[in-house]
Amino acid sequence: MSSKYSLAIIHPSFELLKNLCRLLHLIAAVFIAINALHQLAAHEGGKIICYTQLVIAADILILVFFGAGIFIATPKIAVLFRVMEAFTFMGIFLTLVTDGHPLFGVINFLLSVMYGFIAYREWRIANAETIELLPNGVRFPNFLSDAKINWLHIKKVVANYNSILIETVQDKKMEFELRNNLKIEELQQINDFCTVHSQLSD
């Protein structure tokens, strides 16, 4: 019997974020382009900075409309662009505050924080969208932060061919669909593992 098991899951919150991926990139590109055009029209910003923002916005739009498959095939590319968007919004925030527009600056600061957090979660999704069955508990991903439940607080874990159910002693149930169906021998090993460790914690 293995010392731990990692099962790739389909997490509803992560799937929602994946589905919104293109829309979030589009929103970022539009905001960046509007800010650049506004600063050019108002003659408040340096032209090089404004043109740089327009180039970044154009790059994002090209990726959104002509490279959608890249987000699915290589999710870390989406993370890279999300980081660029977060840093761009932070740069706009600093520029606006320096130019005496704190209100619009704060909006861009909040966008920078939001996109930075989304980039972090997308990076976590790309690296570990799994449930881990460990000797000392079960670790599973959440949108805000990953969580771990000790076997002492778990009533039962039931693995099926295409899903896994976790029920806590407080009768809270969490069920996740598996990305890959389990084979018969894998299913038996996982359920035996969970039975043994839940009994040891009693």
Q: Could you state, in order of their start, the residue ranges of all structural domains in the chain?
A: 12-127, 130-200
Give pLDDT tens digits for 1-27.
567 888 888 877 777 777 788 888 999
**If you average pLDDT over every residue of the chain, what do you get?**
83
Q: Position of tokens 């809270």?
A: 172
CATH 3.65.10.10 fits 130-200, yes or no: no
Q: Is 133 helix (H, G, I), strand (E, B) or coil?
A: strand
Q: pLDDT tens-digit profile of 23-49?
A: 889 999 999 999 888 888 876 657 888
Separation between Cα atoms, residue 86 and residue 109, nearest integer Å: 9
Answer yes or no: pTM beyond 0.85.
no
* Distance (Å, whole) CA 136 – CA 186: 20
60-94, pLDDT tens digit by residue? 888 888 766 666 656 677 788 889 999 999 998 98
The per-residue pLDDT for 110 is 95
CB atoms within 10 A of CB 147: 12
Which range is least confidently modeled, 34-38, 144-148, 151-155, 191-195?
144-148
pLDDT at 71: 61
3-state helix, strand, coil in the chain (%, to 5): 60, 20, 20
